[in-house]
Structure 1
Amino acid sequence: MKLPPEDRALSPYTGYTRNHWVAAADGLLEAAWRWSTPGGALLDLPGPASANGARSDGLEGFARTFLAAGFRVAGEAGADPHGWLDRYARGLDAGTRTPGRDGAESWPVILDYDVAGQPMVESASVALGLRLTRPWLWDTLDGRVRDRIEGWLRGALRHVPSPNNWHLFPYTVAGFLESVGRGDAETARARDRALELLEGWYRGHGWYADGDGRAFDYYNGWALHLYPVLDAHLAGVPTALGARLREHLGAFALWFGGDGSPIHFGRSLTYRFGAGAAVGLGAITAETPLRPGVSRRLLSGALRYFVDRGAVGEDGLLSLGWHGPHRPTVQFYSGPGSPYWASKAFVCLLAPPQHPLWTAREEPAPSEVADTALALPTPGLLLQSTASDGVVRLHNHGSDHVRPREAEAADGDDPHYGRFAYSTRTGPTTRGNVADNHFAVVVGGVRSVRRRIHPLGAGQGDGWGWGASWHRPIFGRGPAAVPGLRVESVTVARGRDEVRVHRVVGAPPGARAEQTGWATGPGESVLRPLAGWSRQDEVRAPHGTAYVPWAVLPCLSADVLGTGVLAALAVLGAEAGDPVASATIDGVEIRWPDGFAVAIRFDPLDVVPG
């Protein structure tokens, strides 16, 4: 990827400017197009096929890179020095001639999500790319080609989406068709249905659940906010949904570390700097509380973070992983073209060169300004950042990926949701290794996992914050659950200190409790017993994480019977405070040497300064 020289006067934190974003888009497109079919309908990028098959993967490569090209050309008012739109015009023609056939150029047809649904996802990128570039692409196509494209896209309106953000894919297709005078009752139904569901998924304070469950993650920004707000922006109509985006960004700005890394949490992390899509969307729509210099700092910080750490390989392609290739970061549905949903971050290019997003001087990210404890009660999350190192930690007391129709025991450990803490400097250990940042009850030699998370609350005070939840321990062998067994958990964050308190209720004879800390290199994290723990060890995770190839974890353990309360101090880093704790089965009091104290009561839950 050939990038221009840094500009440290305008961008003192990253050196990146709008020209870097344009060059990044061109570099990614050039590398991807080396793998196109002769007719340009599919981009068959090298790598293992996804569960959807190679043809679907080729369409994914075409559609997701088309999104980057669309933002890049639209942001230049149609200027297209590399001829990207000519390539996509050829591919649109070739791919829609005989959809569903075995020909080398034929696109797969769009079917229900549980049959062959991935093309429905890609239809939204195709539709959005066409809408962004209408004057220079769609309007120049032969009428028969346009009819064929419409026929293929309408498959998204006539089949069943997955019961989550997927409903915004036919919404986006319908929005494009209506924008070119091809709307009808079918497009209206798709849009009305999506907005109806979106309203039901809204939980307040800028947060949507991704479906009827409690999945709160990056999909809130790069899907649930992006598609409807961008649709309204392109149509030039006001939308009340913009105010929700604004509210979301006020807290979301703290999801990025001082080094640019987004918090390593949730699904589809191989989309990498796509995490910044909502920040860019807020900037171009003016639906943001962030100053332009802060928005660019977050956007360019994330892009540079991944460029500098090998996300773009020597072949110029985005790999399946995090820094470089890392299979445990990737979902089963991801193929070689999947990482190019990172293209959504290029929405920022819709801001022209003279826009304040590009002309304002970069300002520090929120994680670099002050130590912060920010409670997000709606999703049940607690954010904790330290300005001295720019690290952000996320304490999860409310977001899981258990669908309402699923049993809790399904799928076992979910490393990207089930852990108590995530950060911008660490990733979770893989299945098969000891789980990091985990509280387990061990019964009959089997460690429990945390699946469905029941939030109990979150709050903050001056310089500190807390989050709380309960869960039912689930076991992978033998009975899935022990009758009456539950764990109530509270995290108190202050400075870089995390005090983790757990009350086990209903522990059977012979049970043992275990608490692990951060997965890092040796000597890079602390886990100190404060109350209830009897043994302190260090365990290894030889499969490592997305950040380190090999990791160690501090570990505490203790026997537990009936009801027991345990407290520990965890710190990501080598320096820790020196709080002390006293515990009963009814609550815990935590006190720091400077006199600050927090009292936790369990029945009912109450967390207050002591």
Structure 2
Amino acid sequence: MAAGTSPSFFTSLNSALATRSEIVQACKSLLTPLLPFFSPGKTRLRLGATATRYDEAGAQLEGFTRPMWGLGALLAGGESFEGSELWLEGIRNGTNPDHPEFWGWSKDLDQRMVEMCPLGFALCVAPGHFWKPLNERERENVRRWLDINKKEMPNTNWLWFRVFANLALMKNGAEYDAERLEADLNHLDNFHLSGGWSNDGPPDTLQMDYYSGSFAIQYLQLLYAKLNGDRDPKRADIYRDRARMYAKDFLHYFDEQGQDAPVETEALYLTVSGRAMTFGRSLTYRFAMAGFWAAVAFADLHLEPPLSCGVIKGILLRNLRYWSQQKDTLNGAGILTIGYGYPNQFISENYNSPGSTYWFMLSFAALALPESHEFWQCREEPYPCHSIPQIVALKHPKHIMVRRGGHTFLLSSGQMCHYPMRAAESKYGKFAYSTAFGYSVPTGGYFVEAIGGDNILAVSDDQGESWKVRRMPLNARLETVDGTPVLISEWKPWADTKVETYLLPPTEATPNWHLRVHHIRTGSRNLKTSEGSFALNGVSEKDERELQQMDTDKSEGRLADNGEAVAVTRGGAVGIVELHQPGARAGRVLDEDANSNLMESRSVLPSLAMDIAANAGVWVATGVFAMPSSVSNYKRKWQKSWMQRPQIPDWLRNRMV
């Protein structure tokens, strides 16, 4: 290894990440850098100094347990790992109340409950490594520590963590609470609505993000079906049926970069990767966003066409390749950082410890399958872009999924987080989310460049001193007009102010554009407004300095005029246009506050600004343009598409009176 090079996932792998042996090495390359960070008693890993809402012992426990998603699968698949004995020693000591590094008993609503899930999985799939070596006293210590059956838990996906605590004990012949296990499973089944979709939390709040699928509910349903289907066949069949339905929708949350290039040779695997939709919370888990597909493989589940085994394998492995190519997700010691495309505390939640990022490793579940398994033997197939619609309305999450004009994104209305959370309005309340252009979050509230202003309409009633954006949507609904899905919703920044928004997907004639039409009623307030397009990389490719005015050949730079703004960088081309009152809104390209964007530490944002007087009712119509850099020769193609503006459909114009 070259001097100064990190012992990381990225530098230690010069492979296509296409075979089981290569994925084994990828998993090990993430586990190995952890070994120097074990505490003396091997019960904890201190991977950083930042804090969480829960105690430091719980945070360091996360560093211990979460890598077990990958380690457990690795060992279950017949592989070895030189550091696995450290985790065994940690289990012995961490569950021993007489040991100085005892993990501590769980209280109500305790973070320790979450960490019982990856530990429980490892105990289920690799008992020969983590259970059988224990003596009777040590097993009893594990049993007592996992017994949270009389503790209060949140009414969310957390209930699955108690299921896996009981399941681990049951699978290893230890005493467990069968009644509580059944009661938790019955209660979790109430989260399911239809079509495979489960709400994560109370029924009066719509929250369907990766926790409904890859991070928790669908993922753990499939693991349960595989691990306990022999004892609970009826429920296992229900979970498999839900997964088959869910997969048809979840397929649309992924793209395939370079999808026009055929994947015919091993060399081409290195140039093809697949991104996941940046939507919702906990995106610092990164590769875990593809976890559902790993669970499908683990559970031996066959899905309906076009979701063949080869297609599923491709979605999973392309997403791993995508993360293997992101050079700023690990620190110098090879440890996963809090952030998304780079280290970033602004996008984190208050439950993200330095070790929590290793939820990432649940997507290695397919390593529990042997080399001879169909999943590893089948040929990887490309994303089935020619077999699925380009525009699909998903009624349960209230999303319109779009794959048109070289861009994969969704339009959203209706979702919100049901409890206070940092940047919740950015993670659930924006109008659009993308696989290519990550969303931005607030870094402050006193200037418009710091509010995370992409794909939102922000309003201020104090001359821009503070800004409000949509967090709690009202009366959100999907309609179909002339065969096209439309999302309609309302929100009230103040009691006397109301905004109604229509979201329309691209047409065939203008595939790089989507429409937003807003009816703004100001009430008693004079308002400033700012609406943003997608944000993108904000530096010059020529000299890495701040993005300048558009160059003469229009292959790079920023350009703003009355009623429109556009930026072209190495990230692609994005823009925004006022279509109803072209002179009424001022075009600007904002320099977003540094580190506000998920993917780009320096980002710019084409936007439109407008002042509206009190007691007014104003209609504005916004065209939002996007062409990601994955479109071949986009620096030459964008201009023609940019000038081909979308039209407001007649049915909507008739309402704009």
Unaligned runs of 5+ in 2: 1-8, 258-273, 445-449, 539-566, 628-637
Structure 2: which amino acid aligns with 1:94?
Answer: N
> Which of 178, 181, 199 is equivalent to 2:173?
181
> Aligned pair 1:157/2:149, yes or no?
yes
Kindly state the Cα deviation for residue 315 of structure 1 after the two structures are TM-superposed: 1.7
Contact 2:488 2:503 in 1 (8 A): yes
Kindly state the Cα deviation for residue 86 of structure 1 after the two structures are TM-superposed: 2.2
Judge which range, 436-445 or 319-328, deviates more. 436-445
> Aligned pair 1:571/2:625, yes or no?
yes
Contact 1:85 1:137 in 2 (8 A): no
Q: Which residue of 1 aligns with 2:201?
A: 211
In structure 2, C-alpha distance between the alignment counterparts of 1:262 and 1:255, rounded to whole Å? 6
In structure 2, C-alpha distance between the alignment counterparts of 1:417 and 1:567, rounded to whole Å? 22
> Aligned pair 1:261/2:275, yes or no?
yes
Kindly state the Cα deviation for residue 505 of structure 1 after the two structures are TM-superposed: 4.2
In structure 2, C-alpha distance between the alignment counterparts of 1:361 and 1:444, rounded to whole Å? 60
The verdict on how the C-alpha distance between 1:223 and 1:254 changes in structure 2, with shifts beyond 3 A counting, is same
SS in structure 2 opposite 1:472? strand
> Aligned pair 1:298/2:347, yes or no?
no
Q: Which residue of 2 aligns with 1:535?
A: 585
Unaligned runs of 5+ in 1: 8-14, 475-480, 590-599, 604-610
Kindly state the Cα deviation for residue 371 of structure 1 after the two structures are TM-superposed: 7.3
Judge which range, 167-176 or 187-196, deviates more. 187-196
Contact 1:430 1:543 in 2 (8 A): no
The verdict on how the C-alpha distance between 1:401 and 1:496 changes in structure 2, with shifts beyond 3 A counting, is same
Contact 2:338 2:348 in 1 (8 A): yes
The verdict on how the C-alpha distance between 1:367 and 1:190 changes in structure 2, with shifts beyond 3 A counting, is farther
Contact 1:320 1:336 in 2 (8 A): yes
> Which of 463, 485, 498 is equivalent to 2:498?
485
The verdict on how the C-alpha distance between 1:247 and 1:338 changes in structure 2, with shifts beyond 3 A counting, is same
Contact 1:306 1:312 in 2 (8 A): no
SS in structure 1 opposite 2:515? strand
Kindly state the Cα deviation for residue 3 of structure 1 after the two structures are TM-superposed: 5.4
Deviations 1:228-272 (A, max 9, x none): 321221124331111111111112122122232211111110100
Kindly state the Cα deviation for residue 411 of structure 1 after the two structures are TM-superposed: 6.7
Structure 1: which amino acid aligns with 2:92?
Answer: D
**For residues 63-462 of structure 1, what are the structure 2 equivalents within 5 Å?**
63-76=65-78, 79-80=79-80, 82-98=81-97, 103=100, 105-113=101-109, 117-154=110-147, 156-184=148-176, 187-212=177-202, 213-221=205-213, 222-237=215-230, 238=233, 239=236, 240-259=238-257, 260-285=274-299, 286-289=301-304, 290-310=307-327, 311-366=329-384, 372-386=390-404, 389=406, 391-403=407-419, 414-431=425-442, 432=444, 433-434=450-451, 435-445=453-463, 446-454=466-474, 456-458=476-478
Contact 2:47 2:355 in 1 (8 A): yes
Kindly state the Cα deviation for residue 147 of structure 1 after the two structures are TM-superposed: 0.2
In structure 2, C-alpha distance between the alignment counterparts of 1:84 and 1:244, rounded to whole Å? 37
| Identity, % of aligned positions | 24
Deviations 1:301-350 (A, max 9, x none): 11121121122334221111112212222111111111100111011212
Structure 2: which amino acid aligns with 1:276?
Answer: A
> Which of 58, 61, 64 is equivalent to 1:62?
64
SS in structure 2 opposite 1:130? helix
The verdict on how the C-alpha distance between 1:465 and 1:279 changes in structure 2, with shifts beyond 3 A counting, is farther
Q: Which residue of 1 aligns with 2:648?
A: 581
Contact 1:277 1:348 in 2 (8 A): no
In structure 1, C-alpha distance between the alignment counterparts of 2:302 and 2:124, rounded to whole Å? 21
Deviations 1:327-379 (A, max 9, x none): 22211111111110011101121232122322222222245877711211111
Total equivalences in the alignment: 557
In structure 2, C-alpha distance between the alignment counterparts of 1:67 and 1:422, rounded to whole Å? 28
Kindly state the Cα deviation for residue 211 of structure 1 after the two structures are TM-superposed: 0.5
Contact 2:302 2:309 in 1 (8 A): no
Structure 2: which amino acid aligns with 1:529?
Answer: E
Contact 2:513 2:625 in 1 (8 A): yes
In structure 1, C-alpha distance between the alignment counterparts of 2:474 and 2:74, rounded to whole Å? 43
SS in structure 2 opposite 1:580? coil
Structure 1: which amino acid aligns with 2:426?
Answer: P
Judge which range, 435-444 or 316-325, deviates more. 435-444
The verdict on how the C-alpha distance between 1:334 and 1:4 changes in structure 2, with shifts beyond 3 A counting, is closer
Structure 1: which amino acid aligns with 2:220?
Answer: Y
TM-score by length of 1: 0.85
RMSD: 2.6
SS in structure 2 opposite 1:449? coil
Kindly state the Cα deviation for residue 59 of structure 1 after the two structures are TM-superposed: 0.8
The verdict on how the C-alpha distance between 1:197 and 1:564 changes in structure 2, with shifts beyond 3 A counting, is farther
SS in structure 1 opposite 2:476? strand
Structure 2: which amino acid aligns with 1:471?
Answer: E
